[in-house]
Chain A
């Protein structure tokens, strides 16, 4: 698949403070999660991709065209900024139709699109209320609406789920996934790891302005050779299972839970362990209630990478 958005050696300074350092990425269509703590450089990256800032070094391009001062590209881009900011004294309807008209839609088309988008984000009933009377979640939804109302190919969402309640988050995540199935290119940033995990497995991890890792979350985890995988088992006789693995040289550590029913294993060779476990379960007829990988998630991977 060809990259839609490409950055080459992208670097940005704010005076002496490094915002982004030597970021080279190729982003294809689908959802790409940009993950990092506050101040990592996610918003800086998004502002560079949306042409709000000019790179100090390097280049950012969309379909081969430089983004900075290239306003023609913006009919294809929808941006949902992080800031909770709107024009004063406007209603949701006025805000959305106004911005649609800026995108080039006629009055009638803008009204039609605004109506449909407000329905999607469930703000139709509140469209004639002033935005400053909206709740935090409603404001977030209208911000999202202005990013997608003009049907862009590329959607850049900076912390889109912030301020939403759990149900609102689920709805928005579903919407984002719907856009993915339409073939759009979506970049979503967040510092809340489960949110990113719920949307996509394609992750770019960013920390202190640098890319820590990128790719599928599981393959990122597998690449971290220096840290063993942790696997937790819950069964009737964990010691019996443990006895079967004591002589296995790929097992680095085993520990038992205080409840007497759980076993936590650390191993370099996860796949080999699971194969062996399958055989052990069949041999011993021990009932395994639960198998989990406590560290096979974004948080653990991130923690490992940052410490590394």
Chain B
């Protein structure tokens, strides 16, 4: 036995760190990550094309970014990424029959789950941030000298990061106990989240996308597409951050509890 290993067993933090390191490595290696990275290049390509086609029309370029590309990120890319990686936390171990390699190590189960979650969220945040960075600064290149621009970028990146964390926590929770979590996730992510924005009243507040949009910088006068962004007065940014954080924490907590107490049997 390794004399350096604590005979009392690793703490939750140590378990988390070890699993995080392993899955950051494994997550980067898979072909699927490369496919999703390519997905992130599409907004960059569109940004380049738009800059060329709309040269000299800065206002229109900014409008395209705010009202089209950001909608793409918010309602499509991060939902797809979170759905795949979130459900993968448990599903890839049970489908791949590799769960025993983790659960027979001296690692707290909560640490295993949180470590994998954090690794995948980090991967996704890096992928989306890189894509966002290039597309944002390509389309807002004429404003490099404005400090407010960088704050705006950080705000967009923060909103997307928080959205990734919340969606991934939700889908990870679904993945801990549902066999077909992907299908339920697709219904939620592309069904409910899209449809609820057209419901009257405060129903929008029952969706994650509402809070993400509440964190985005808003244009003063809405163009024809702004109606797609807001049908209702958005929530205050602080409230939105709090709700997204609470949602992420709550679903993570439930998922960790389920992962710790449930038995996972491989399908024969």
Direct contact of A and B (CB under 8 A): yes
A residues sitting closer than 8 Å to B (CB atoms) are: 14, 47, 50-54, 69, 71-79, 81, 83, 85-90, 94, 98-99, 101-106, 109, 146, 150-153
- Taking CB atoms and an 8 Å cut-off, the chain B residues in 61-89 that contact chain A are none
- 9-residue interface stretch from B7-15, B203-211, B213-221, B227-235: B7-15
- Complexed CA–CA distance, A141 and B102 (Å): 19
**Is there contact, CB below 8 Å, between B25 and A103?**
no
- 9-residue interface stretch from B26-34, B42-50, B151-159: B26-34
**Is there contact, CB below 8 Å, between A87 and B26?**
yes
The reply on B107 being an interface residue by CB < 8 A is: yes
B residues sitting closer than 8 Å to A (CB atoms) are: 1-2, 4-10, 14-15, 18-19, 21-22, 25-26, 29-31, 96-109, 260, 263-266
**Is there contact, CB below 8 Å, between B106 and A104?**
yes
Output the residue of B26, B105, B265 with the most chain A CB within 10 A: B105
Subset of 19 A-B contacts with CB under 8 Å: A52-B100, A71-B9, A74-B107, A75-B2, A75-B7, A78-B104, A83-B97, A83-B266, A85-B98, A90-B26, A99-B105, A102-B18, A102-B22, A102-B101, A104-B6, A105-B5, A106-B4, A146-B101, A151-B1
Output the residue of B98, B101, B103, B265 with the most chain A CB within 10 A: B101
**Is there contact, CB below 8 Å, between B14 and A104?**
yes
Taking CB as reference atom, which chain A residue is nearest B19? A102
Chain B interface main SS type = loop
For B22, give its contact among A72, A77, A101, A106 (CB under 8 Å). A101
For A104, give its contact among B18, B25, B263, B266 (CB under 8 Å). B18
For B104, give its contact among A50, A87, A90, A98 (CB under 8 Å). A50
- Complexed CA–CA distance, A77 and B21 (Å): 22
Residues of A within 8 A of B260 (CB): 69
- Complexed CA–CA distance, A25 and B100 (Å): 23
- Complexed CA–CA distance, A89 and B27 (Å): 10
CB distance from A288 to the nearest CB of B (A): 51
**Is there contact, CB below 8 Å, between A51 and B96?**
no
Given A85-B98, A102-B105, A150-B2, A72:B18 Cβ within 8 A? no
CB distance from A59 to the nearest CB of B (A): 16
For B107, give its contact among A52, A87, A102, A106 (CB under 8 Å). A102
**Is there contact, CB below 8 Å, between B1 and A76?**
yes
**Is there contact, CB below 8 Å, between B26 and A109?**
no
For A109, give its contact among B2, B19, B98 (CB under 8 Å). B2
Chain A interface main SS type = loop
Taking CB as reference atom, which chain A residue is nearest B100? A81
Taking CB as reference atom, which chain A residue is nearest B8? A72
CB distance from A114 to the nearest CB of B (A): 13
**Is there contact, CB below 8 Å, between B5 and A88?**
no
- Complexed CA–CA distance, A58 and B121 (Å): 40
**Is there contact, CB below 8 Å, between A71 and B263?**
no
Taking CB as reference atom, which chain B residue is nearest A79? B104
**Is there contact, CB below 8 Å, between A75 and B25?**
no
- Complexed CA–CA distance, A50 and B103 (Å): 9
**Is there contact, CB below 8 Å, between B4 and A75?**
no
Taking CB as reference atom, which chain A residue is nearest B10? A104
- Complexed CA–CA distance, A152 and B4 (Å): 14
Residues of B within 8 A of A47 (CB): 100
CB distance from A203 to the nearest CB of B (A): 24
Taking CB as reference atom, which chain A residue is nearest B260? A69
CB distance from B38 to the nearest CB of A (A): 17
Residues of B within 8 A of A106 (CB): 4
CB distance from B103 to the nearest CB of A (A): 6
**Is there contact, CB below 8 Å, between B29 and A75?**
no
**Is there contact, CB below 8 Å, between A102 and B98?**
no
**Is there contact, CB below 8 Å, between B21 and A101?**
yes
Residues of B within 8 A of A14 (CB): 265
**Is there contact, CB below 8 Å, between A52 and B263?**
yes
**Is there contact, CB below 8 Å, between A74 and B105?**
yes
Taking CB as reference atom, which chain B residue is nearest A103? B105
Taking CB as reference atom, which chain B residue is nearest A86? B98
